[in-house]
Structure 1
Amino acid sequence: MKMVVGRVVGSIAEIEEADWDACLPGEAECHAYFSACDGAAAASGVGLRCGAVVVTDSVGVVAVAPVFLFTYRLDTPLQGRARRWAEAAFRLVPGLAALRVLCVGSPYAERCHLGFAARLDAAARAEAMQVLLTALEDEARARAAHLVAFKDLAPREDAELAPMLRCAGFASLGSLPVATLDLPFADAEGYLASLSGATRKDIRRKLAKAGAVRIEHRVGVVGLEGQIEALYEATRDCSGLDYGELEVLPPGYFAAVAEALGERAVFVLYFVGDTLAAFNLLLVEPDRVIDKFLGMRYPLARNHNVYAVSWMANVRFCLERAIGELQTGQTAYASKLRFGSRLVPSTIRFRHRNHLMQWLLARLAPRFSFDHLDPQLASSRTFPFPDG
C-alpha cells in the first residue's frame, strides 16, 4: 500500500456510499443510515453532527469511521444522587467538569463502526490504522479538543486495536455492554423452553393478561412521525437514566431513517383500540436484527404488558426469517437478562493530549466506567442467575 493519506471530513456524505459500505459490508447502520442521522441533526439544529475519518491509498478508500465532536462531562456515567453530588462539586471547578472530545463512532450507534477494505492484509490494516490515528490527532489539535476517543469498541475490534492503541498512549474505560439474544430455535416455543420455569411462566402470564393488542409491521411511518417521537421521548424521560447528549435524537430522526433504509428499517406498531400504545424500530440485517428503539405510552402500555408482547413479537420476527441474533441494546438489562440475553462487553479507548491529564484520567477511569455505574448492571451482579 503506497501513498497512504488520512483526513477528517465534515460530513459522511463527502465519502462515496459504495466506498463506505465496502469497508463495513452488511450493516444496517450503513452510509445511508449515518447520512440520515446527520441530515436530521443539521435540519433541526438538535443532536450531535457526525463527520468521518477516511484513509485512502493509491487504489482507493481503505478505512472509514464516523466521528463527532462533543463536550463530555466527567460525571456522565453517574446517575441519581451521585450525579447531583458531582454537579454540585463541578460548580466549584467548572474548568475541570467538561472536556472537548473528538470521538470515533456515532452517538446514533451502539458500537464503533470502524471498517477496513477487504483487500488489506494485517500489515496494511495496521498501517492504515496508524495513518488514521495521525489524522485524528491533527484534527483534535485544530479543533482544540482535549481528548481523542473510540466509542463502544466491540470485543473483536478492541482485541485487534488494543495493542496499537496502548502503544499510542490510549487508556481504556468500560462502556455499557450490548444485550444480545441468541435464537438457535425452530419456533417461539423452543425459545420459551430455553428459559427458566419462573421466567417462562411470567411471560405466558403477561401475554395472557395483555388483552387486545394489535400488532402491525410497517416500512415507513408517514402520518405517525409525531406520535412516534413523542413516545420515544416519554420512554426516555421515564428511564431514570441520563447520559446527556449521547442519547438525544434529533427531530425527524425516525422519518429520515425510514426513508434512507427502506425495508431494512421496520417499525413494529402496537395498538390498543385505535391508540398507538408503543412502537419498536428494528434494523434488519441478513444475520441480525437490531432492536434500535422502543417507545411506550404510559400507563396504557404498562397496563397491557406491551414490553412482554413486543419482546415475543421480535423473537417471532427473527425466527420466521431464520435470523439467529436479536440485539437489544444498552438499557433495561434486568429484563433482558431474565429473557435469556447475554451481555457483550464494550470498551472506550481514550487519550488526553496533555500527558499529565492522561495519567490522571487513566487512573480515575476504573471508578467512572459506565458498566460499573449503571444501576441495573450493578444490581444484576448480586444475583447468580438471570432470574435473580
Structure 2
Amino acid sequence: MPHGNSIPILQGAAKVFTLADLQECGAWKRAFQDKCKDHRYYEIVEETLRCGFEHYYLLIEDDSGNVRAIQPVFFVRQNLVEGVRGKVRSIVDGIRKIFPRFLTTRVLMVGCAASTGDLDASEEKGEAWVANALWASLRTYARQNKASLIVLKDFPAKYRPALETFHLNGYARIASMPMTRLALHYEDWDEYFRTLSKATRKDLRRKFRKAARAPMIEMEVVSEIAPFIDEMYPLYLAVHERSPLKFETLTKDYFRAAARQMPERARFFIWRQSGKIVAFSFCLVCGETIYDECIGL
C-alpha cells in the first residue's frame, strides 16, 4: 500500500492516504464497523457527490506501528456569506463575477461531508487517544495544504469528553443543527397517539380528515431505488432548494449507490397518490434504530 505524507505525532504518526490507496487495507474495511455508517458510506459520499470536496484519510498509527484509526477528512472552499440574502449578497455576487473566491476560505473538515461526524475508535477509551492524535496532526496538515480553518463537522455531543482536548487548546465549540430522537416503545399507533398533547391530537385528526377526502395515499418500503430514482429525485431537489443554508447536494448516484452497497441498511419509504410518487424518505436501519437521512416532497 503506497504511503502518502506522514505527520509525526508524540504517540506515533498520522499518514495521509487517498481512497484508492486504502482499497487493499484491512484496517479500512474494519473502519467504523460499530457505526451505522461504516467505511462503505464514506466511499459512497466520495464517489457520488459533486460538491468540490477533496477527500483524504488520516491513517493514525501508534509508536508500535499499529493502526489505531482511519479518520476521513476533506477540504472545501467555504462560502462565508452562505445564508446571507438581500443587498449584501447581491453586492458579493457582483464582485465574485470578477473575483470568484471573494469572501471564501479553504477549510479542512474532519468527519463526513454528508452526515454527522464519528471517530473511528472501536471502544470508548480509544476515542480520546484518536482525538489527541488528531489534535496533534491537524494543524500541521492544514498548514501544509493552505487551509485557514479547521472544523470538526457535526460531531454529536456524545464525543465531547473525547474531544475535550480541542476545546482546551483553542478550538471553539459551536452548536450545530440538533438531531431529534423518538423512542419507539409503543405497541401500536393508538398507544403513541395517546401520549401526544390534546392540541397535537386535534391538529392530526383535522389533517387526517382532510387527507381522507383526497385520493388515497399508499406507502411502500423498498431497498432497491433504481426503478424510481428519476421520479423521486426532483422531490429531493425541491426540498433542498427551499433551504436557505446548503452544504452538500446529494445526487442520483448517491441514492443508487446506497441501495446497492448497503442493501441490508438502506430503506426508502415511498408515498404514492393515484400511482404518482408524492414523497419519499431515505433511511438507514441499524440494529433497532432507524436513521432518517433525507426527505423529498
Question: TM > 0.5 between the two?
Answer: yes
The CA deviation at 1:205 is 2.8
Which residue number in structure 1 is paired with residue 219 of structure 2?
Answer: 215
Aligned to 1:242: 245
Given that residues 53 and 74 in structure 2 are in contact (C-alpha distance below 8 angstroms), is that contact kept between their aligned partners in structure 1? yes
For residues 117 and 27 of structure 1, what CA distance do their matches in structure 2 show? 9
Cα distance in 2 for residues equivalent to 1:27 and 1:21: 13
- Shift of residue 91 of structure 1? 6.2
Distance 1:112 1:289, change over 3 A: same
User: Given residue 178 of structure 1, which amino acid in structure 2 is its aligned partner?
Assistant: M
Structure 1, unpaired ranges of 5+: 297-388
The Cα shift of 1:285 comes to: 0.9
Query: What amino acid maps onto 2:184 in structure 1?
Result: L
For residue 151 of structure 1, what is the amino acid of its counterpart?
K
The answer (yes or no) to whether the contact 2:22–2:28 under 8 Å persists in 1 is: no
Q: Distance in 2 between matches of 1:206 and 1:97?
A: 45
TM alignment of 1:36-75, pairs within 5 A: 36-41=44-49, 45-46=50-51, 48-57=53-62, 58=64, 60-75=66-81
For 1:53, the aligned partner's letter is L
Conserved 8 A contact 1:222-1:255: yes
Secondary structure of the 1:249 match is coil
| Distance change (3 Å), C-alpha of 1:187 and 1:59 | farther
The answer to whether residue 118 in structure 2 is matched with residue 116 in structure 1 is no
Post-superposition Cα deviations, 1:68-112, rounded to whole Å, max 9, x if no partner, equal 110112222x3544xx52553686797761110010012210x21
SS of residue paired to 1:209: helix
CA separation in 1, counterparts of 2:230 and 2:21? 27
2:131 to 125, 129, 147: 129
Question: Structure 2: how far apart are the matches of 1:5 and 1:183?
Answer: 44
Higher helix proportion, which one? 1
* Count of matched residue pairs: 281
In the alignment, is residue 139 of structure 1 matched against residue 173 of structure 2? Answer: no
Provide the rounded CA distance (Å) in 1 between the counterparts of 2:140 and 2:16. 9
Structure-1 separation of matches of 2:21 and 2:229: 25
**Identity %, equivalent residues:** 25
d(CA) in 1 for partners of 2:71, 2:88: 36
* SS of structure 2 residue aligned to 1:186: coil
Q: Is the 8 Å Cα contact of residues 54 and 132 (structure 1) preserved in structure 2?
A: no
1:125 Cα deviation from its structure 2 partner = 4.8
The answer to whether the 8 A contact 1:61-1:117 is kept is no
Residue matched to 1:302: none
Report matched runs for 1:158-237 at 5 Å.
Answer: 158-162=160-164, 164-210=165-211, 211-237=215-241
Change beyond 3 A, Cα 1:154–1:261: same
Per-residue displacement from partner, 1:94-148 (whole Å, max 9, x unpaired)? 7761110010012210x21122133x84xx6544433323332232122211111
d(CA) in 1 for partners of 2:91, 2:264: 47
TM alignment of 1:289-300, pairs within 5 A: 289-296=290-297
Distance 2:181 2:174 in 1: 21
Gaps of 5+ in 2: 1-9
Cα distance in 2 for partners of 1:153, 1:96 equals: 29
1:380 maps to none
Residue identity matched to 1:223: P
Aligned partners of 1:137, 1:295: CA distance in 2, in Å? 39
Amino acid across the alignment from 1:186: E
The question of whether the paired residues in 1 share the 8 Å contact of 2:80 and 2:103 is answered with yes
For the pair 1:85 / 2:88, whether they are aligned, the reply is yes
